[in-house]
Amino acid sequence: MILEGLVTTRNPDGSVNVAPQGPITSAALTTLTFRPFPESNTYANLQRERRGVFHLVDDVLLLAQTALDLPHPPPSTEPAARIDGQVLRDCCRWCEFVIERIDLTGERPVFEARVVHRGWRRDHCGFNRARHAVIEATIAASRLAWLGRDEVLAEIARCRAPVLKTGDEREQEALRLVEEFVQSRVPPP
């Protein structure tokens, strides 16, 4: 199964990189398979450091901000328990991991990781319709160069109704930021 969440890795200057990732995982969360884009900081950091922390979060505003590299205050972190890494303080659960195998031969690189420690702060009750919609709109916006303006705007429009009906202020703010991101990068025809 694929779980959407956030990964923290360490940049070369020692700062924390926070990025969305949807690893393939076992139901028991004992293994994680990442497929980061080769041009991403996450890819470079995982290849260099071979460790990180995967977080299950319920904050789709932070997911959207990090996915689209939008300005936002850095999230609060604390040291991980078993690896040299950082855990997001506002997460539901986290998995500290080490990379055991890297395969760069396919279309997308594959980083296979073993979970070495898990932690829990609060239950993750799942995403309501608004949060799912924000995640889908964000994924479409992050693929703007491949999908094109019209397809991304159509996906955002499809996602707007559930956000307006079932979303709170953070979800509505997240969708607004996603839409502004797309509008600012591609001028109208």
User: Does residue 57 sit in the same domain as residue 96?
Assistant: yes
User: Does residue 155 sit in the same domain as residue 110?
Assistant: no
Residue 40 has pLDDT above 70, yes or no: yes
Q: How confident is the model at residue 189 (pLDDT cuts 50, 70, 90)?
A: low
Burial track 168-179 (b if 16+ CB lie within 10 A, e otherwise) = eebbbbbbebbb
Mean per-residue pLDDT of the chain: 94
Residue 92 has pLDDT above 80, yes or no: yes
User: Does residue 15 sit in the same domain as residue 68?
Assistant: yes
Say how many domains are in the chain.
2
Residue 153 has pLDDT above 80, yes or no: yes
- Give this prediction's pTM: 0.90
Residue 168 has pLDDT above 70, yes or no: yes
- Within the chain, how many helices (H) and strands (E) appear? 6, 9
User: Does residue 135 sit in the same domain as residue 115?
Assistant: no
Residue 93 has pLDDT above 90, yes or no: yes
